[in-house]
């Protein structure tokens, strides 16, 4: 029997995690913030910070990782004497998400490791999850969140080649990258 993590509102953990990163790539601060705070409020604060740091290196142009790290350090400082079950400082998560959404986007670091070094495109897949709740608080996870990195996307047959193309096209704001020519258009 497999174990599936869910957030406090009943969302699939992998879906929410993917939706957060994909919304950041698309510059959608409202939706990215919703997903980041859903993960944070569900007790996945440490994970959110690891993912935001990864996004800063994987999807954003420039030296933004240092700013996200500084926000993380501030978050740690605010919570120094706070019980782990009731963390404070979600404002730092919110600011990190906004900065990442507003940053110029470039997938050069990911393209460097996958296309230049590993030369591995078109490897895996994923599928869309069922509707969760019918409450007014329900925000559906967007279809674009389900790619080769989530169980749902793999079940749908989503490929890494599709992922690279879709995510390159979704970058907002976009800055031309060194390896853009390696993505099939």
| Each residue's pLDDT tens digit, 23-68 | 999 999 999 999 999 999 999 999 999 999 999 999 998 889 999 9
Q: Residue 85: pLDDT band by 50, 70, 90 thresholds?
A: confident
Residue 182 near residue 115 (C-beta atoms within 8 A): yes
Q: What is the CATH number of the domain that holds 144?
A: 1.20.272.10
Q: For residue 20, give the nearest of 51, 44, 42 by alpha carbon.
A: 51
Do the domain assignments include residue 2? Answer: no
pLDDT of residue 70: 97
Do the domain assignments include residue 50? Answer: yes
| CB neighbour class for 30 (10 Å; exposed up to 12, middle 13-18, buried from 19) | exposed
Average pLDDT over residues 104-114: 86
Do the domain assignments include residue 81? Answer: yes
Placement of tokens 């174990």 in the chain: 3
Do the domain assignments include residue 8? Answer: no
Range of the domain at 119: 13-182
| Cα 151 to chain centroid, rounded | 15
Q: Residue 130: pLDDT band by 50, 70, 90 thresholds?
A: very low
Number of domains in the chain: 1
Q: What angle do CA 96, 168, 174 make, to 5 degrees?
A: 60
Do the domain assignments include residue 5? Answer: no
Do the domain assignments include residue 100? Answer: yes
Do the domain assignments include residue 1? Answer: no
| Cα 43 to chain centroid, rounded | 17
Do the domain assignments include residue 7? Answer: no
């Amino acid at each position: 029997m497999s174990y599936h993590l869910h957030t406090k509102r009943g969302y699939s953990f992998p879906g929410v995690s993917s939706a957060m990163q994909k919304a950041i790539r698309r510059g959608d601060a409202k939706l990215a913030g919703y997903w980041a705070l859903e993960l944070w409020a569900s007790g996945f604060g440490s994970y959110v910070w690891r993912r935001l740091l990864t996004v800063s290196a994987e999807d954003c142009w420039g030296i933004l990782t240092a700013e996200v790290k500084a926000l993380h350090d501030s978050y740690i400082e605010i919570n120094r004497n706070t019980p782990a079950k009731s963390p404070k400082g979600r404002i730092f998560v919110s600011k990190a998400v906004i900065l990442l959404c507003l940053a110029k986007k470039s997938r050069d670091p990911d393209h460097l490791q996958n296309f230049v070094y590993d030369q591995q495109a078109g490897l895996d897949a994923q599928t869309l999850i069922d509707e969760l709740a019918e409450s007014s608080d329900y925000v559906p996870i967007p279809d674009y969140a389900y790619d080769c990195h989530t169980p749902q996307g793999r079940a749908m047959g989503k490929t890494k080649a599709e992922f690279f193309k879709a995510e390159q096209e979704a970058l907002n704001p976009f800055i031309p990258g060194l390896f853009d020519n390696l993505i099939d258009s």
